[in-house]
Structure 1
Amino acid sequence: MRKRTISRTFFCALSALSLLHAQQTPPAASPLPSLPAPRPGFSFPQNQTLTYSVDWRVFSAGTAVIHFEAVGDREKLTANADTIGAINLLFHASDQFQSNFDRARGCTYEFDKQTVEGRRKVNSTLRMEYAQFKSILDEKNLVAGQAKHVESAIPGCMTDLLTGVFYASSQPLEVGHNFAMPVVDAMHNVSVTMKVEGREVIKTPLGTFKTIRVQPTADAGVVKNRGNIWIWYTDDDRHLPVQMRARLFWGTITFRLTGIENK
């Protein structure tokens, strides 16, 4: 159904790597790469809020707000995405995400999702128990009253779908030098390659930025014939994602940075 597709792509574009999960990716058959450590001197924001406008084709589709907060040696990443305008009348979506990860190594410890998409309401919590090399998913469908509990093996330190987009900022991002990250979501362990393609000047409602364009891809062509994703990071030490784009056969959804608050 086109309405459900719009809603799911809205969610996918927020955590751009999650399009890999949306295509029902099977567990990777080959060994997953190790999560690369943050580059020397890099630090995740202590307190920062990023606001994005979301466009579908020529329509304003929604807004997304991302908040970073340092909690001891952990980083708490919170995201809220809501449809607006005509898209909201067509199919209402309001999704919330929370990720808790290690600031020094990037290992995700918990990834929560609360999704409201039309009549569909689902809450889920994915926890990583690294000492036991397993992930634990608890999911509840609030409409149907159904619950699911699943445990699955993980090889070691993993990042999640939301964190992965922003964790890439901790890497050097040198044109022509790609890197891979192990990503987990809903019991799927996936190797995601971040292809650092080139430099580009991007205009957003917040201004004009010199950027580095990165394309996330998965082994075995997960998004082949389905669409493409690009993320534009500022070409400076921050590597701030100022634009994200998911291009599918029925249209394109683009996130553009509209606000930054350091508090």
Structure 2
Amino acid sequence: MKKTTLVSLSLFWSLALTLGAWAAQPLPVPERLEYEVHWSGIKAGSAVQEVTPRNGELHLVYTVRSSGLVNTFFPIDDRSESVLTRGSGDEPFGMPRLFRERINEGKTHTNKEALFDLQQLKVETKDFLKHTEKTDSITPKTFDTLSCIYFIRSAELEPGKPVHMEVYDLKRLWNAEVRVVRREELRTPVGKFKTIVVRPVLTAEGQQPRTDYMTVWLSDDSRRIPVKLVVKLKVGEFRATLSGGSHWP
């Protein structure tokens, strides 16, 4: 299993979620969503996505851990955290203030932190393992690779109408077009869902465009719960399916 497997999962939680217009429907807080993770038909582990209020801010946490056979030859222990400032008006969840990412996948290890300055339109990123720092430019609507999910879940999605936004992944700023593909009914370990299917197209200066490598199913209701994710890999396929948690009927 490649490092891009679980990193792609984290990245798309951002890509699928910042699609433009804000809706008045509030999302449930606190919330916990649990997922079964499979790689090419083999159970690879589990993932948990949580949001909790704390000191007037929202804390989003996403974790992935391997199990079984995969844990033997490719152990995974990943954690991402995003802190959102208090929002108001048309932006009820605010904007990212802090993002942390710790990746442990096989022999690959990452420990980074990003501080967002929306006044100066800058983000300062620290790499704690390489002992480096850098500053990148951002836009007024830049999100990290975790916080975006809670924005897209408040958006109006219609098949055939793409939505655009920017996502900062601790390396560069991506221009993302999220294509709303179709509506589809889906069965999961926690029941049957009517869903809306979305796919991202990512572009960045000097980078090869990334297309048709990821598909996400969101519940077709006001909550927009990420129900299923499929990532195409050079070897096999990565799949995460909702299996438990809270805040759905």
Residue 198 (structure 1) shift: 0.7
**Distance in structure 1 (CA, Å) of the matches to 2:143 and 2:226:** 17
Instruction: Give the corresponding residue for 1:111.
Output: 99
Letter in 1 for 2:210: V
Please state if 1:9 is matched with 2:29: no
Structure (1 or 2) with the greater helix fraction = 1
Post-superposition CA distance 1:27-54 (Å, at most 9, x none)? xxxxxxx973422x12233101000000
Instruction: Give the corresponding residue for 1:204.
Output: 188
1:25-174 aligned within 5 A: 36-39=20-23, 41-71=24-54, 74-102=57-85, 103-104=87-88, 105=91, 106-141=94-129, 146-174=130-158
Instruction: Give the corresponding residue for 1:223.
Output: 210
Q: Tell me if structure 2 keeps the 8 A contact 1:113–1:124.
A: yes
TM-score in terms of structure 1 length: 0.82
Letter in 2 for 1:113: E
Residue 114 (structure 1) shift: 1.2
Q: Tell me if structure 2 keeps the 8 A contact 1:38–1:170.
A: yes
Please state if 1:181 is matched with 2:165: yes
Residue 127 (structure 1) shift: 1.1
Q: Tell me if structure 1 keeps the 8 A contact 2:11–2:169.
A: no
Q: Matched residues, percent identical?
A: 25
**Distance in structure 1 (CA, Å) of the matches to 2:241 and 2:168:** 26
TM-score in terms of structure 2 length: 0.87
Q: Tell me if structure 2 keeps the 8 A contact 1:14–1:81.
A: no
**Distance in structure 2 (CA, Å) of the matches to 1:56 and 1:112:** 26
Residue 70 (structure 1) shift: 2.4
Q: Which runs of 5 or more residues in structure 2 are unaligned? A: none
**CA RMSD, 1 decimal:** 2.2
Structure 1 residue runs of 4+, over 4 Å off? none
Post-superposition CA distance 1:70-89 (Å, at most 9, x none)? 23553211011011111110
**Distance in structure 2 (CA, Å) of the matches to 1:209 and 1:42:** 19
**Distance in structure 2 (CA, Å) of the matches to 1:173 and 1:35:** 8
**Distance in structure 1 (CA, Å) of the matches to 2:56 and 2:125:** 24
**Distance in structure 2 (CA, Å) of the matches to 1:180 and 1:238:** 20
Local SS of the residue matching 2:149: helix
Q: Paired residues, what number?
A: 237
74 and 38 in structure 1: CA distance in 2 versus 1, 3 angstrom threshold: farther
